[in-house]
Structure 1
Amino acid sequence: MKAFSVTILNTQIKSLLETTFMQVVVSGEISNLVNHSSGHIYFSLKDENSTISCVMFKGNTKYLKFELENGQKVNITANITVFVPRGNYQLLCTKIEPDGVGSLALAFEQLKVKLEAKGYFDKSIKKPLPNFPKKIAIVTSPTGAAIEDIKKVASARWSLCELILIPTLVQGVGSVEDISRNIVFADSLNCDIIVVGRGGGSIEDLWSYNSEMVADAIFNAKTPIISSVGHEIDYLISDFVADIRAATPSNAMEIALPSREEYLLYIDSLRDSFSLNLKNIFSKKEEELRNLKLHFEQNSISSKLFFVESQIKLLKEQFFQSLNQKFQIASNILENLKSNYSLNNPATRQKDGFVELSRDKKIINLSLLKIDDIVELQSIDTIAECKIISLSKQKVK
């Protein structure tokens, strides 16, 4: 048998392997990962019993949607190649997908964790929106439904605000760079708010808003930013980094702009409240004026003079009333004296057979006399001194 040279043998093995295993899908765990400065990625793929070397050249890494990590389980689409000078074979990777999780979902979670660790989602640095914005920059496509919805809502809610459309590529090749560049440009326009967003679509259509470049542009902007990408169920990295997340572009304008109708109602309520308060104030002042007027009247000179006059009048009435009472009492006494005098006047009391009986100058009842008492019998013109010689009692019928 003719002997082969090492080079010929390795060359034939290379030809055999590369034609036999033109494309294989291999599952395993990443280890010994090296991201080379050239852009190539070198690593090993292993399972419980074996290891195989792998390489992904720079031309294919641009299609990699997530970052490779040691210990990560992946499915690799590759062909087998042999490095003839050393006789080593390895997998030349054209596609790498995470095992069990979609590459986009994994990329989203990886970037989310990375940016959260950098403080991009910190609520304490979120910028507040102005209550009455005068100028809003819209970073979106000029031809999509989103800009029409934005204009319609803005016109209905608050037509005093100026909208500045910055035409932007929102998906496909170059969209990440265009979105980032236009956010920076909008931030230089001295606007009150920047709205970044687009209408709905597939996750691939919305993927530009899940890039780190767009996240950096939003985070570094000095102007408050509202992220409004897709529909209400869609959550993008831009939503977490922005100051406010809106469910849709229409919702972004509802958040950014005040409602004209609400403020008209508010003005009406203020007017009613003002009228009521003014009415209450006037009513209170009128009551205070009435009280002051009453107090003034009560403490005025005329009021005091009237009080003194009324007191004098009262005293005068009391004096005359008291004087009349005294006169009445005196008159009653005189009448009584007069009546008594009339009753006791001997001239009026003189009758035949009637005299006044007294003892020791005092009128006495006949029943109180005793035998031998000396008494006086007196009429109008005659006084007789007598001695009691006998007394007898008569039966009263």
Structure 2
Amino acid sequence: MTRPEVPSGSLFGAANLPYGVYSVDGAAPRVATRYGDHVVDLALLLGDDVFAAPSLNPFLAQGHDRWVAVRAAIRDALEDDVPEAALHDHDAVTLHLPFEVADYVDFYASEHHAANLGRLFRPDAADPLQPNWKHLPVGYHGRSASIVVSGTDIVRPQGQRLPAAGARGGTPVPEFGPSQRLDLEAELGFVVGTGSAAGEPIPVADAERHLFGVVLFNDWSARDLQAWEYVPLGPMLGKSFASTVSPWVVPLPALDAARVATPVQDPPVLPYLAMPQPWGLDVEVEVVWNDEVVSRPPYAAMYWSPAQMLAHLTANGAPTRPGDLFASGTVSGPARTERGALIELTWDGADPLVLDGVPRTYLEDGDEVVLRATAPATDGGRLGLGEARGRILPAR
């Protein structure tokens, strides 16, 4: 038995205690928490076999009251001696996708991001936002099987795209090939713990009883594929090839000190989206491209709240399940240094970034992108959301 120590200033102290899935020495994956530089096996720490599973889903299905009780039990157990078999060095384990993704929806919740793209693609429009944007959280359904854990390589996608000339005799003629405008999108993802039955919407007031926690999320995007295919039904091959999540799910209560009001929602939303005070999160995201920080998007600037996104997702009676995931859409702020995608940072290639002395617009083979994030913690310090890391491989 031993009592694990947490280094001063650690982003993974007792105020955080995220959930993940690890394996070591070829053993089967199991659920753990991160405590300082330790990965702590929860089945051994708490004597509960629900954490001997290879994903969080059985625990997610146990519901909000159980999540609260377990979080308190973990904190109590870590204040005492811990079985040595439960402790592993963080750098000595393999981290896995922490939950089985049941369904996945990606939203478009940043007014700054949506307005920037509107200015790019509809420069003559009186309003860069579409008429529906401030009335509902716009989103689309993605492919849950394409979500991968941090550290997984990303193969450059292929699909139809318009060549540089774009048209022959005034008629668009596409070609098939690797994406030439491969992008990143810095986002947060929200993990649904307990689901809802078909025909039973989740009210905004009840959303927190269904939301388990938060992950970092990189929605890799092939802009040239997306631009050709998205009319009239939206993204498909330009988005469905891969999205990267961080290996640690930060429980929603750990982010209580990070809660902030959303920007003023004007015009007023419809009653099913109305909240006395819609809340967002003061999460500071960092985008690192080939070891260079290129942006620091502020999640606090997001227009639509997580509760509103979940309420809208289920407003038509769509069912949800433990392990459902919805992402926020690109996180962007008002400044150029706060934009969460290269299409905004480089204004679709017209204003390149200089990276290691070289002008750059979109991702090249061999590039590595890392998302990191921190937030205020309930103990007065800061907590970490880990990282979402991916390296681009050539198309196959």
Higher helix share: 1
Higher strand share: 2
Establish whether TM, by shorter chain, passes 0.5: no
The one of the two structures with greater contact order (alpha-carbon pairs below 8 A, sep at least 6) is 2
Larger radius of gyration: 1
Q: What's the TM-score, normalizing by structure 2?
A: 0.16
Q: What's the TM-score, normalizing by structure 1?
A: 0.16
